[in-house]
Structure 1
Amino acid sequence: MTINIITGHKQSVLLGIAILLLSQKNTFIIITNNTIETIVAQHSMTLSPSSSEESVVLVEHEDNTATTLEKESLTPDEDAPHAVNIVSIGTETTGYAFQFHPDRLQAILSKVPSHYKVKVVSVVGAFRTGKSFLLSWFLRYINRTLSTENETKKWYEQVDELQKGVFHWQAGKERDTTGIWMWNTPVVDEKGESVLFLVDTQGMFDHETSMNLTACIFGFSTLLSSYQVYNVDKRIQEDNLQQLALFSEYAVTAMEDQSETAPFQMLEFLVRDWQHFDEEDEDNVDRMEESMKEYLDQVIRERDVKDLQETREQILNTFQNIQCYGLCHPGFAVTKKKFSGQASDMEPMFLRLLDRYCTRVFDAVPCKQIHGQTITVAEFGNYCEAYAGLFAQGAKFPQAATLLDATATTNTTNAKLTAMQLYTQGMDRTAGPHCTNYVPPQELQEQHELLRKQSIKAFQEKANFGNKQKILEAKNRLEEELSEQFTVYESLNNGRNPLLGLEVYVIPGLVAAFAYVLRWFTDATCSHTVCRATSQALHHTWTVVTCFLLIVGATKFQQLKAMFQRIQQAVGVLLDAQKEKKD
């Protein structure tokens, strides 16, 4: 929000500021000498909802000098669509620390089911080359194509501004985006099987960011994305290729001796302000796109010079698919600071190419894969946290071995979780907490062995990347945890044993019965004088045990009722066992 305060005396500025900060209305404050007039503003306020900051611009009436005071950032509505800073960059006092915010990422991921497949479009490149501007057009394309309103016009013809509900951008020479930002509104495909995320990154080589931090931003963005757009200005220069090869060297090293497949999926050079169109092709977009492909083939073709050829091989070995597209200059109106995105002020050819490019991108975004396995939303969050931890130590780009280890560890952890889930789901159906029937121990053991083998097989199919010894150690830990889990299921099943606890009643009952029979026998066979003491002792024993059983029965009626039910079950189990033996 920008509010102009016009004053004739500089000493009145502070007074004007105080009134402005206290005011809750949109006002135009005029300060002349010591007189303050407040008028309700109709056109003096320009609001930019896409920005989270407010500034107050003071313009002196006499010499037209300006002073800008930054007010405290406002927190946007969490439910409203906006970009969320998932990676922030520290200041000089914090060593320009690379700080990942997992809670912010999880807040976005939690908006969609965890089993959905993930698609990520990320834009990287030098600063002030229009990355956020491009992503804002991506958002307009997505929103307009999903809408059924005003189908008579092209989607870009309906855009009358580009600063509300988009990634924040602004014209000028100063950098605008710092860190890495993700749009907080995922786009679910029509089939409900995958979800798309858009990611914006801090510009590289901005005279304020170190090479290490630039590598962190580029590297982390590449690890996240399934469709990486490398934004370059006017042409693909050799230094663009060298920087790309440098930042992707770690991925190639991690891939070495493991797989012949390139670790990353899609890289597209987007050449802004393209200057290679032939004049006769200006009305033929198909021919213009063909010339883009020819240009890329020329750029990455084999070279005789060794270092140039190694650079190209490095890039080709890193990305499975490499393409190129060019956008002409959008028009000089875009370079003005007052430009807010009106399509009517832009070059028609730029809009036509932009239309084709947006369709090209979103029709071809692949699902995110790591080591050949398609990643779900839940797994994507785990990988993000694992990779971010590598970049968080003083903004230093990790060693390739560390990157390999983090990737392999996360992959092995996910494989172990999948295997444990397979085992517990099967055992829960057999002897889980919600089961009521007792399972014979031999049958329970057989089910455990079957599910254990299936779980180990599932683990081995997925844990196929990284150090073999560490995978073996993880497998051994999995087997130990399966055995521990089986012990839990055994305890649960034993609690349902119909014979469990019968000794509490059977043993005293047998003692009482034995004492009663023996007393009756002694009374019948012994003389009164000889067996009297024995008979009395047996009588007392029988009486005490009987009273004990009656007291226990009175206080534990429900347990006795359950005991009789267990006896019935036990008899049934015994009869079934006898029947199986005869069969």
Structure 2
Amino acid sequence: MMIILSIEHSSVVVISVAGAFRKGKSFLLNFFLEYLYNLHKSQQSDSSLEWLTDDCQLHGFHWRAGVKRDTVGIWLWGEPIMIESVTGEMFAVLLMDTQGTFDNNSTYQQCMTVFALSTIVSSVQIYNVVDNIQEDALQHLSLFVEYGRMAMEQPHNFGKPFQQLVFCVRDFKNQEEYEFGENGGTDFLENVLQTNPEQPEEIKVVRELLREYFEDIQCYLLPHPGYKVAERQSFRGHVKDLRPLFREELKKMVPNLLGPHNLKPKIVNGKTVTCRKMMQYFKEYAASFDGETLPQPQSILNANAKLICIEAAHEAKVNYCRGMDRSTYGTRMMSEKKLLEAHIKHGITALNIYDKCPKIGSNEVRRLLLEKLQEDINAELERYKRLNEAKRVTGCASAMLACGDSVFLGIGLGSAASGAIAGAVLTLQAGVVSLGIVAIPISLTTLFFIWAYVWTKPCFERITNKNKTR
């Protein structure tokens, strides 16, 4: 938490790996960790980047061979890794591991919720599949196609709703037709996304619209990592035990995805997301998927609408407070009328700021956030009233403690303030509050005699001196 708070305003990059359970998602993420930490080290020391060397041992995300699942829900690596982009901006890179989408120990609804949530919050969603891109893998993308359609139909269009989708085909066997790596993967993906009349309509729609709703779609074909990796309890993370061909292909793929030239921050509703905002986004998206049914495209849209309204409401409230701070600046108390005039003026400005936020999703979401903004502004008004009232007491006390040399109770009254004090004493004696001055725990009679003494003392001294000279 301390690390996140120290970089709360840094743009965040979220790399997620999703796919069927027990297919090496956590194993793949450890190569990402190895690369990012070595990249960070080389940037800090201004040295050449070396990674995946013979003496390297993988560690980080827990993984194992076997048929039982090893990741439940969604896991984030415990700290952001700071990487300097090619533009010089520092990005906080987060790595996300997810529960298998076809886990036999979880319901279909749970699997799809994890898959949907990880895709929504990630900058890059890596879809980890084995041997081939099956029809069911594409079918699970239908949720995002439907959401993309709804998002693109909104009055305010922020561009494509999703950023980058990468198919990582593991243990690919058809090397004779498609070469390993990105080039072969591009050709392979083009073939997979082709449509034909025999396909079900929903599959055809997914194929036709994926490129329209994702900014970028890529595919990498990877060979088998070596049988020593697959043998249970035999692989301890030593890179030297990897199949050389697998190792070389990883050294090409990982920099292409995570290198300084290719990293892109997370974008939500057309705006770059910071680490601080990302925490709020996780909460809102998770809340929208918290139910007994499959996540609905409308739920995702309403979650995005709520995020827009929350940001607009925050900006409106900050603007109101800044305006009120300027209006109430100073040590003198304002009249209640002027305070309310300032409140109305800056309150209207705040509501106009909120009203200008893009209108997407449900109107109910906007209405509820507007009510919350009005409550917050009214609460701030009460705070400004209390601060203003405090100036009433402070002003009176300051006047009474002005510089002087009166011997009574150690209180001095400066001659320049004596007229105002006299007026205040007479007003308070009459039981009327005026000029922002209120009674304090000193007898009014005592105050009057102090004032009278200060004014009459010089006269008595002059008369006494004249009598002495005679």
TM-score (norm 1): 0.61
CA shift for structure 1 position 461:
4.2
Distance 1:161 1:368 in 2: 30
Residue 168 in structure 1 maps to residue 62 in structure 2 = yes
Partner of 2:224: 329
Q: SS of the residue aligned with 2:279?
A: helix
The code of the aligned residue for 1:411 comes to: I
Aligned with 1:224 (options 121, 126, 131): 121
SS in 2 for 1:367: coil
Change (3 A) 1:551 1:308: same
- Corresponding residue to 2:360 among 436, 458, 465: 465
- Please give the alpha-carbon distance, in whole angstroms, between the structure 2 residues aligned to 1:392 and 1:308: 27
Does 1:348 find its partner at 2:268?
A: no
Deviations 1:335-360 (A, max 9, x none): 12211122222222222211121111
Letter in 1 for 2:29: L
Q: Distance in 1 between matches of 2:356 and 2:129?
A: 40
For the pair 1:272 / 2:165, whether they are aligned, the reply is: no
Mark the runs of 5 or more structure 2 residues left unpaired by the alignment. 398-419, 432-441, 452-470
Confirm whether residue 206 of structure 1 aligns to residue 103 of structure 2: yes
Matches within 5 A, 1:377-526: 377-394=275-292, 396-431=293-328, 435-438=330-333, 448=343, 451-468=346-363, 470-472=365-367, 474-475=369-370, 478-479=373-374, 481-482=376-377, 485-486=380-381, 488-490=383-385, 492-493=387-388, 495-496=390-391, 505-507=425-427
> C-alpha distance in 2, partners of 1:409/1:384?
13
- Range with bigger deviation, 148-157 or 366-375: 148-157
* Equivalent of residue 11 in structure 2, options 108, 117, 140: 117
- Counterparts of 1:42-441 in structure 2, within 5 Å, are 107=1, 110-148=4-42, 154-162=50-58, 164=59, 166-190=60-84, 193-245=90-142, 247-248=143-144, 251-252=147-148, 255=151, 257-258=153-154, 261-278=159-176, 288-304=181-197, 305=199, 306-337=201-232, 338-363=234-259, 364-394=262-292, 396-431=293-328, 435-438=330-333
- Partner SS state of residue 133, structure 1: helix
Secondary structure at the aligned position of 1:271 is classed as: strand
Distance 2:389 2:424 in 1: 17
- CA pair 482-151 structure 1, distance change in 2 beyond 3 A: closer
Residue 102 of structure 2 aligns to a residue whose secondary structure is: coil
**Offset of residue 436 of structure 1:** 2.6
Match of 2:439 in 1: none
**1:550, CA displacement in angstroms?**
3.5
Q: What is the correspondence of 1:18-29 to structure 2 with a 5 Å cutoff?
A: none
Once the two structures are TM-superposed, the CA of residue 197 in structure 1 deviates from its matched residue by 0.8
* Distance (whole Å) between structure 2 residues aligned to residue 510 and residue 391 of structure 1: 66
The 5 A counterparts of 1:1-20 are: none
Note if contact 1:111-1:186 (Cα within 8 Å) is conserved in structure 2.
no
Deviation at residue 368 of structure 1 after TM alignment: 1.5
Sort the Cα spacing of 1:205 and 1:468 in 2 relative to 1 into closer, same or farther, 3 A: closer
**Normalized per residue, which structure has more strand?**
1
Give distance in 1, aligned partners of 2:150 and 2:342. Answer: 40
Q: Deviations over 1:228-265 (max 9, x none)?
A: 000011121222111222x4256336526315543221
Give the drift of 1:150. 12
Give the deviation of 1:485 after TM superposition: 3.0
Question: Deviation string for 1:466-500 (max 9, x for gaps)?
Answer: 22354255346535643553454355335536689
CA distance in 2, matches of 1:308, 1:272: 23
- Change in 2 beyond 3 A, CA 1:269/1:439: same
Count the aligned residue pairs.
404
What residue identity is the alignment partner of 2:353? A
Per-residue deviation at 1:152? 7.6
Take 1:421 and 1:168, find their aligned partners in 2: how far apart are those partners?
Answer: 44
CA deviation after TM superposition for structure 1 residue 369, in Å: 1.9
TM-score by length of 2: 0.74
What is the distance in 1 between the residues matched to 2:104 and 2:365? 42
CA change 1:548–1:417 in 2 (3 A) is closer
Q: Tell me how far apart the structure 2 counterparts of residues 329 and 128 of structure 1 sit (CA, whole Å).
A: 15
Distance 1:509 1:213, change over 3 A: closer
Structure 1 stretch displaced more, 114-123 or 444-453: 444-453
1:370-418 per-position Cα deviation (integer Å, ceiling 9, x unaligned): 2222222222212211222244445x32333334333323431232122
Is the contact between residue 179 and residue 185 of structure 2 (CA under 8 Å) also seen in structure 1? no
Inter-partner Cα distance in structure 1 for 2:196 and 2:331: 73
Distance 1:185 1:436 in 2: 46
- Residues 151-186 of structure 1: CA deviation (Å, up to 9, x unaligned): 688411155322x4x100112333222221110111
Q: 2: distance between equivalents of 1:280 and 1:233?
A: 15
Give a deviation string over 1:422-481, Cα, whole Å, max 9, x none.
22133224426xx53556778766765664454334323445332235425534653564
Residues in 2 aligned to 1:409 and 1:457: alpha-carbon distance in whole angstroms: 18
Change (3 A) 1:120 1:280: closer
State the alpha-carbon separation in 2 of the partners of residues 241 and 251 from structure 1.
15
Question: Secondary structure of 1:217's partner?
Answer: helix
Q: In the aligned structure 2, how far is the partner of 1:406 from the partner of 1:176? A: 30
Structure 1 spans left out of the alignment, 5+ residues: 1-106, 283-287, 512-546, 561-583
Distance change >3 Å, CA 508–CA 202, structure 1 → 2: closer
What is the root-mean-square deviation of aligned Cα atoms in Å? 3.6
Which fold has the larger relative contact order, with Cα–Cα distance below 8 Å and residues 6 or more apart in sequence? 2
Structure 1 counterpart SS, 2:126 = strand
Kept in 2, the 8 Å contact 1:171–1:339? The answer is no
1:277 is displaced (CA, Å) by 3.5
Secondary structure of the structure 1 residue equivalent to 2:53: helix
What amino acid is the match of 2:446? I
